[in-house]
Copies of this chain bind each other. A is one copy, B any other.
């Protein structure tokens, strides 16, 4: 018995409310300082510092020193993916943090998941890319097709730069709200960045919400048409 890796430490780290708040805040993909995270978690700086040390030690967070600030980010996309999976279980079981408000609806419509687009809009994009034959399952998992590369060129994504790093181009990430896959990986990140750069969408400050402009929404829908 007792087969397989021991995940108790990781689970314990995620199981404390203050630490869960910290992790949730970092799901926005932004680097936040220790003080910001303390406020986010609703604890004093001392307590937060202790939590952050543990999270870093446990491999969930990375710490970057910059002047007298310490910035924290999630350690990897895999960590983000696991957190989304946990949120999925929680949502499934009715552990929503708040009553469904307008904010919650916006979250479900479009939000940041670590560094890529999630929510209904993210799922819509994923399905459109698949249906259009722009991404397809290859021997190494999901990958960009030639047709897909063409589309990205047309949109103006710097594919050559993306190709340089060895990280996977496409990854699936299970969306906690829509309960379907959306696109993660380098491409997912690049697309979200692109939408922000060209002004189709912008993040609502201090939240994970992404808000599309009317024009941006129209352009997005034209590019990634809804599937039945």
Residues of chain A whose beta carbon lies under 8 Å from any beta carbon of chain B: 1-17, 20-21, 24-25, 27, 40, 58-60, 78-79, 81-83, 85-93, 95-98, 103, 107, 111, 127, 130-131, 135-142, 172, 174, 176, 180-181, 206-209, 227-228
Contact = CB atoms under 8 A, between A and B. Distances in A.
A220 B86 CA distance: 34
Nearest to A9: B95
Given A14-B15, A181-B141, A5 B87 contact: yes
Contacts of A6: 20, 90, 95-97
B97 A88 contact: no
Contacts of A86: 7, 10-11, 82
23 contacts: A1-B24, A1-B207, A2-B97, A2-B98, A3-B107, A4-B97, A4-B176, A5-B95, A6-B90, A7-B20, A7-B87, A9-B90, A9-B95, A10-B89, A11-B12, A11-B86, A12-B12, A14-B15, A60-B89, A78-B92, A130-B138, A130-B139, A131-B139
A42 to B, nearest CB: 9
